[in-house]
Amino acid sequence: QVQLVESGGGLVQAGGSLRLSCATSGLTFSSVAMGWFRQAPGKEREFVAAVSRSGGNTDYADSVKGRFTISRDNAKNTVYLQMNSLKPEDTAVYYCAPTRVWDINRPLGYWGQGTQVTVSS
């Protein structure tokens, strides 16, 4: 049973920072790439960031480049998303997901409950 538990969301003012965490279980964490995705009300889920199995390769959506950083700790089976210089348009529910090792921005189809990020103007 794959479990994904996102945490760290909250309400922040524009320009602020948050660090999201995703604790995983039920998978061989070091064998999968991991990604973050988000979904705002009335919009489709979109790719945010991804990191390879070893952490040596990352990919980011253009909208978050230079502001967000994805990382992973394989000893803790956990992936993180450091979000800086937050904007109101970053408001969404954020989800982590295992992704394809050969195309790391493509999710495998496992999802957690997500964590809400709200950025006030």
Asked if residues 81 and 23 have their Cβ atoms less than 8 Å apart, the reply is: no
How far, in Å, CA of 116 to CA of 95, rounded? 9
Look up residue 92 and give its two tokens: 């969404």
Q: What pLDDT does 50 receive? A: 98
pLDDT at position 103 over 90: yes
Q: What pLDDT does 10 receive? A: 98
pLDDT at position 57 over 90: yes
pLDDT at position 100 over 90: yes
Confidence class of residue 117 from pLDDT cuts 50, 70 and 90?
very high
pLDDT tens per residue across span 19-55: 999 999 998 888 899 999 999 999 999 999 999 999 9
Closest CA to 8 of 20, 26, 24: 20
